[in-house]
């Protein structure tokens, strides 16, 4: 026995198949964007909850004390790595004393002829200082000088070094070194802001 499909049943089946295909395709295309929107909404909710929790705890004495302690730690860290504008000349004198203690010959320090490009973004609180030093020494004293510079407080950075054989003395080198250091600007303003 053969089953005959009527035209009506065929049309209904085709329409239903097309509708199911449209609904299925729609869920495939809409679903990922809904998931992304839902993830964003959940992320924003978590951020808002964090802000609310921080705002609620900000009024507590222990939270204020923790924030003061963190500020003091950050300020100590900045002080370790930088000097004030007023103490910049003392830092340069300290470098000269280090060279004198190591008995470096023909030591001189000056501002560089061509100041290199700044490595820091323009900042109202921290700036860069540069110094070019020239001297004659053997390689062991040169290494000791570099070691002393890099262990100094505030920290000094040896940016470049040129070694050439010294005229007339075998075993000695004429050294030119570019040194950079960090300078705190407006030190009084940062102390006032901390209070």
> Are the C-beta atoms of residues 160 and 98 closer than 8 Å to each other?
no
Task: State pTM to two decimals.
Answer: 0.55
Residue 191 has pLDDT above 60, yes or no: no
Residue 102 has pLDDT above 80, yes or no: yes
- At 180, the pLDDT band (50, 70, 90 cuts) reads confident
Beta bridge partners of 175: 135, 163
pLDDT, residue 35, reads 73
Dig out the tokens for 43 from the structure: 């992320």
Question: 191: which DSSP letter?
Answer: H
**For residue 154, is the peptide bond before it cis, meaning its omega torsion is within 30 degrees of 0?**
yes
Write out the E strands in 24-124. 82-84, 105-110
- Picking from 190, 84, 104, 106, the residue whose alpha carbon sits closest to that of residue 146 is 104
What SS3 state is found at 4? coil
pLDDT, residue 83, reads 78
Is residue 64 assigned to a domain? no
Residue 147 has pLDDT above 50, yes or no: yes
Q: Determine the structural domain holding residue 102 and report its residue range.
A: 85-189
Pairing type for strands 105-110 and 156-165 reads unpaired
Is residue 152 assigned to a domain? yes
Task: Dump pLDDT digits (tens) for 37-75.
Answer: 778 888 998 998 888 887 777 777 777 788 888 888 888
Tell me what percent of the residues of the chain surpass a pLDDT of 90.
1
Domain CATH for 96 = 3.30.70.60
Number of domains in the chain: 1
CA dihedral 100, 104, 108, 113 (to 10 degrees): -130
Residue 163 has pLDDT above 70, yes or no: yes
Q: Can you tell me the mean pLDDT for 88-115?
A: 84
Is residue 37 assigned to a domain? no
């Amino acid at each position: 026995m053969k089953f005959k499909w009527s035209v009506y049943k065929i049309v209904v089946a085709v329409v239903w198949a097309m509708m199911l295909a449209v609904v299925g395709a729609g869920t495939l295309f809409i679903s990922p964007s809904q998931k992304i929107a839902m993830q964003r909404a959940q992320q924003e909710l978590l951020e808002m909850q964090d802000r609310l929790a921080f705002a609620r705890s900000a009024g507590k004495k222990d939270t204020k004390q923790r924030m003061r302690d963190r500020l003091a730690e950050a300020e100590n860290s900045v002080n370790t790595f930088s000097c004030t504008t007023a103490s910049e000349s003392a830092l340069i004198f300290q470098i000269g004393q280090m060279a004198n203690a190591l008995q470096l010959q023909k030591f001189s320090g000056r501002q560089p002829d061509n100041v290199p490009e700044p490595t820091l973004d323009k900042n109202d609180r921290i700036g860069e200082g540069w110094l070019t030093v020239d001297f004659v020494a053997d390689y062991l004293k040169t290494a000791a000088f570099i070691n002393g510079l890099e262990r100094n407080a505030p920290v000094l950075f040896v940016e470049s070094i040129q070694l050439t054989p010294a005229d007339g003395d075998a075993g000695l080198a004429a050294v030119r070194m570019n040194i950079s250091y960090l300078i705190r600007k407006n030190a009084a303003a940062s102390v006032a802001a901390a209070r």
